[in-house]
Structure 1
Amino acid sequence: MKKTILLLLLLPLLCSCKKAVLTTYDRAANVYFDLSDADRDSIVYTFAYDMTKAEDTIFVPVKVMGYRDQQARQYEAFVEKDSSTARADLHYDQLKPTYTIESNAGRALLPIIVHNISELENQSVSLLLKLKASNDFGIENPALIRARIIISAQLEQPAWWTMWLDNYSRVKHQLFLIVTEQRSLSTVGLDAPKNLYFVNLLLMMLNDPFKWVKDHPEKNYVLSSKDNGQTYQFYHVDNPNRSILLRKNSASGKYYFIDESGKEVR
């Protein structure tokens, strides 16, 4: 009796042990941008903290949906210009006709070369990228084949600024970064000696930018004039496209940097 009961209990299990049908992926290979939802909407890249770079490369991850291949394969991408404010050859290098996914690879990085120009200090620009079908890859999911890049060089007033400095402007902030090589100061009162030291470095530079350039050749900044010394352009030797205007005050004879509002930086 016990054997009969055991057999009845095992019977459903034995019947279910049929050979499973192996489901295979037999669709054509596709590519898509391997990004989070937030990054897909806007990958933000800023030159704000570095005036020295004339250009940089943003790498956008591309992933294969489907089999890997023993042969290298080509995928294609383009900029949707009607939906972009960035301009080719000014804000970014034009894309190549094709890009490679190496053999046996399931992903690649799409390089986007962007340029650091002074216009970006006042206004960011956008670049809408899209993948498109190639001889080797399809683009099955429209929601996953687009990516927007925001290119900027615009600084914003940090919370600590008013504790140690006054008269905020983006130009003054940029000069602070150049002179002190500090991205932030603390708001702790006990840090006052250290923070005031950095503030003083900036004030000394503002009072005599010519002496600062002479005393710090290792920083590779120059002052160049085309009007017999009435105005100068202050910039890093590697990137003349990002310059700050230094202008002589006719009343005092002193030179002041000019901020984004046309006011003297003090």
Structure 2
Amino acid sequence: MKKLIAISLVSWVLLMACKKQDNPLFQQPHDNIYFDFTDDEKSTRIDSFFYSFALYPEKSTDTIMLPVKVSGSRVHYDRWFKVKVIDSATTAQPGLHYKALDTAYKIPADSGGGFLPIIMYVADPALIDRSVTIKLQLISSSQLSNDFPAFDTAKITFSNRLEEPVWWAVWIGELGVYSRVKHELFIRTSGTTELQTDMSDWQSTPLTLFYIRQFRAFMMDPIGRTPDYKDKGYAIGQQDDGTYYFYNTGNPDKKYPLEFNSADGRYYFHDENGNRIVPQ
């Protein structure tokens, strides 16, 4: 997944782009604040970011740091900028999906920029089935104005679900029919979030097959293989009724229950539709 300039405190998975813009002019009668987002690969300005907690099972919260810059002079004292939520374009709820915004945010002394931290939460179970959006707009303060309307908004869309990647169809013979739960377990146990999108690069195929075999070995014996992932925070828990489940100690509320099948003496996961996930 390509990294953009928006930075997470503990992780960053940000995607997508908008349209090219010219850089703000610096010949202004007063100092201004603006969002500074650039896709380095395409030299394109962006204003939309996408994040999925499903990629990070150990996290119940995460922070996206949106970079802002000052157009104008640097000064030897802290300055403060303000931001508001555009309610008409926002579906996320403060307190439930994200931490409510502060009154103002600091641009450190002798600095030409800073960051706007947006703290997101994953507790809402509805995020497994839908995404929510926060749209933000910089507003003028007594110290910093907002005279660049083409650079004053940012949109963050996030969820706790995955979508079927292009590469799954390429390797469906090895992975089987797609499901979100299977995809999550693949990411947890394979050691990668991406596979080849075609089979033309024969030099990369052995590594791809290694990732797939790691996943399949775990699915064949999840309880026996879980200790191999202890250093990544994974463990097997047991409920009061004796049911085992796979989870990450960093986010114990996210559980993957295991069902024992007496016919073959093995444990199986189930997907989001209740179907047993059978290793290929």
TM class by shorter-chain length? 0.7 to 0.9
Counterpart pick for 2:191 among 178, 181, 190: 181
Within a 5 Å distance, the mapping from 1:137-176 to structure 2 comes to 137-153=144-160, 154-159=162-167, 160-176=170-186
C-alpha root-mean-square deviation of aligned residues, in Å? Answer: 2.9
The unaligned stretches of length 5 or more in structure 1 are: 1-23
Counterpart pick for 2:251 among 228, 234, 239: 239
- Deviation of 1:252 (Å): 6.7
Mapped partners of 1:131, 1:191: distance in 2: 45
State the TM-score, normalizing by the size of structure 2: 0.73
Secondary structure of the structure 1 residue equivalent to 2:120 = strand
User: Would the aligned equivalents of 1:164 and 1:195 in 2 still touch at CA under 8 Å?
Assistant: no
Q: Count matched residues.
A: 241
The reply to whether residue 89 of structure 1 matches residue 91 of structure 2 is no
State the TM-score, normalizing by the size of structure 1: 0.76
Mapped partners of 1:195, 1:101: distance in 2: 45
Aligned residue identity for 1:110? L
What is the percent sequence identity of the aligned residues? 34
Instruction: Write out per-residue CA displacement over residues 22-72 of structure 1, whole angstroms, 9 at most, x where no aligned residue.
Output: xx95623221212357521x1222334332233322121212233332221
Mapped partners of 1:67, 1:141: distance in 2: 16
Answer 1 or 2: higher relative contact order, Cα 8 Å, separation at least 6: 1
Counterpart pick for 1:213 among 202, 222, 226: 226
Following TM superposition, the consecutive aligned residue runs of length 4 or more in structure 1 with deviations greater than 4 angstroms are 116-119, 188-197, 248-254
Mapped partners of 2:71, 2:227: distance in 1: 57
Within a 5 Å distance, the mapping from 1:1-266 to structure 2 comes to 27-36=29-38, 39-40=46-47, 42-117=48-123, 119-153=126-160, 154-159=162-167, 160-186=170-196, 187=199, 188=201, 195-230=208-243, 232-248=244-260, 254-266=266-278
The unaligned stretches of length 5 or more in structure 2 are: 1-25, 39-43
Secondary structure of the structure 1 residue equivalent to 2:217 = helix
Secondary structure of the structure 2 residue equivalent to 1:174 = helix
Q: Which has the larger radius of gyration?
A: 1
